[in-house]
A and B are shown apart, each in its own frame.
Chain A
């Protein structure tokens, strides 16, 4: 097991290095950073949501949108570059199991997205903190209730987004293990992300009573096959305190996210095992 872990670690390191050196990663990271910073200048555009909410929303949007694009495109690219360039031939001829290769790819891609999410979250925290300080001083002068944000909530939100992107990576890897082309993996992976973001519709329907056992079975199956990616979007509640999140609920979301990662990686490993390199 220790030897397996070491091999996964090496595949992950090289995958991470390859990923962070790509211009696409740098481009999306710069776009995300620009989006967070630009939120300060777009404040005048805001319709009374509260400045901090407006700024936070830019950060959440950057993490969600560019993070999803990175997770889908970079994961498929990192996988298919090994297959198409035949580096996978060299690696898999060594005492490296296919599941170890897949897990290593996952860990490398996830680490790259960790850098992306935590850089944006750190920057967002900085922008929110500096504006909050100004608003607190202003509130003291005017006697109004000051707007605040939660730094620990932001850390939790970043962790949840990272986990959500981990689920996306695992889904895209299991699709890539089956797909013959990069384009197929990207298109189907993107559709899977959209389906995952909308999975809650089926999930909500499952929670309501229905007369049709067939429909109920269909919904049950859908909610088991597709990951619920919407449950990770607790930004407003955690960072701005717009709604209370019950104690332990975040832990349950983390647990389900980790189980999704394990499930899709296991699925990918079974599919990849039969793939002819």
Chain B
């Protein structure tokens, strides 16, 4: 089976100013996004992540290189029917209610009228937006906007979901909710491409990651493989006394191993926050 996304030697130049000075946003990029996985596309601002996604979606034309999407040439309507996309900092027509918005997007995505009602309700439920679905989009918080954006992206049950910075500006509770939605989609066998610079979240939900810098791919692989340091180990010990520590150090030395540091393990601030704050006010 072909990859969900296949990018081969993609280059994208922008011409800026009256003199048409060339600005290279993506430079000879090649990558394959396998099906059924959560794929993280990482990199600092301006590294070419969003431009790559826009080329993939046919919103921007490539200067050179090839892109295929679910086995079809990029940007073909057939391919786009099988994709869901949540852009960065999404903005929707404020006068529509959440339900109307998802319904509108469902119609544009080709959902047939007989399936419309159930598809909309399913997407709203997946995004935990059922209770707020009748409020105008203009009254939504940032987290709710991201969640209704997620609902509109998945309402037509796409094979591939592309999320551009889905948690930007969202509080940890909302961020965790979006993480849960991503995992739920993966469990259904969907492919998810997550473009973000929030490394913690990517680490938590992604199966594979690619890191871009200045338009180039600098690292790509499975998350465990790229993060693991095979020459270092972590032991977690309870009730460690100075005597026990000295004995352990001596035992390790006798096997040729060296204890390099002893520290207290820390939980992440996000874990602490989630422990203290039971739920988002948006829900």
Do A and B interact with each other, yes or no? yes
* Contact, CB under 8 Å: A93 / B80: yes
Count of inter-chain pairs, beta carbons less than 8 A:
72
Partner of B87, one of A7, A11, A21, A89: A89
Query: Given A3-B110, A276-B59, A277-B59, is A90 in contact with B93 using a C-beta cutoff of 8 Å?
Result: no
Min C-beta distance of A148 to chain B, whole Å? 44
A-chain residues with CB within 8 Å of residue B60 when the two chains form the complex: 276-277
List A residues 1-54 near B (Cβ within 8 Å).
3, 6-7, 10-11, 14, 17-18, 21
Does B77 make an interface contact (CB < 8 A)? yes
A-chain residues with CB within 8 Å of residue B85 when the two chains form the complex: 89-90, 93-94
* Contact, CB under 8 Å: B93 / A87: yes
List A residues 77-92 near B (Cβ within 8 Å).
85-87, 89-92
A-chain residues with CB within 8 Å of residue B93 when the two chains form the complex: 14, 17-18, 87
Docked complex Cα distance between A238 and B54 (Å): 53
A-chain residues with CB within 8 Å of residue B58 when the two chains form the complex: 92
Partner of A90, one of B54, B78, B110, B152: B152
* Contact, CB under 8 Å: B95 / A17: yes
A-chain residues with CB within 8 Å of residue B80 when the two chains form the complex: 93-96
* Contact, CB under 8 Å: B61 / A87: no
Give chain A's interface secondary structure class: helix
B113 closest partner in A (C-beta): A6
Min C-beta distance of B123 to chain A, whole Å? 14
* Contact, CB under 8 Å: A18 / B61: no
Q: For chain B, give the interface size range.
A: 20 to 34
Partner of B107, one of A6, A85, A276: A6
Does B83 make an interface contact (CB < 8 A)? yes
Query: Given A3-B110, A87-B93, A89-B59, is A95 in contact with B87 using a C-beta cutoff of 8 Å?
Result: no
> Interface 1/0s, chain B 173-190, versus A by CB < 8 A?
000000000000000000
Partner of B108, one of A17, A18, A86, A91: A91
B92 closest partner in A (C-beta): A87
Min C-beta distance of B14 to chain A, whole Å? 8
Does B46 make an interface contact (CB < 8 A)? no
Does A233 make an interface contact (CB < 8 A)? no
List A residues 246-277 near B (Cβ within 8 Å).
274, 276-277
B162 closest partner in A (C-beta): A93
Docked complex Cα distance between A93 and B162 (Å): 10
Does B279 make an interface contact (CB < 8 A)? no
Q: For chain A, give the interface size range.
A: 20 to 34
Min C-beta distance of A237 to chain B, whole Å? 42
* Contact, CB under 8 Å: B77 / A86: no
Partner of A21, one of B95, B108, B109, B162: B95
* Contact, CB under 8 Å: A7 / B61: no
Partner of B91, one of A10, A21, A87, A97: A87
B-chain residues with CB within 8 Å of residue A87 when the two chains form the complex: 91-93
From A11, A86, A90, A94, name the one whose CB has the most chain B CB atoms within 10 angstroms.
A94
List B residues 76-110 near A (Cβ within 8 Å).
77-78, 80-81, 83, 85-87, 89-93, 95-96, 104-105, 107-110
* Contact, CB under 8 Å: A95 / B109: yes
Docked complex Cα distance between A276 and B62 (Å): 10
B77 closest partner in A (C-beta): A95
Docked complex Cα distance between A95 and B61 (Å): 17
* Contact, CB under 8 Å: A90 / B83: no
A85 closest partner in B (C-beta): B91
Does B57 make an interface contact (CB < 8 A)? yes
Min C-beta distance of B90 to chain A, whole Å? 6
B-chain residues with CB within 8 Å of residue A95 when the two chains form the complex: 77-78, 80-81, 108-110
Given contact pairs A18-B95, A96-B80, a sample of 6 additional A-B residue pairs in the complex whose CB atoms are under 8 Å apart: A90-B87, A90-B90, A92-B59, A94-B85, A96-B77, A276-B59
**Chain B interface (Cβ < 8 Å from any Cβ of A):** 54, 57-61, 77-78, 80-81, 83, 85-87, 89-93, 95-96, 104-105, 107-110, 149, 152, 162
Sample 24 A-B pairs with CB under 8 A, ordered by A number. Answer: A7-B107, A21-B95, A86-B90, A86-B91, A87-B92, A89-B59, A89-B85, A90-B85, A90-B90, A90-B149, A91-B108, A92-B57, A93-B57, A93-B83, A94-B80, A94-B105, A95-B78, A95-B81, A95-B110, A96-B108, A97-B77, A274-B61, A276-B59, A277-B54
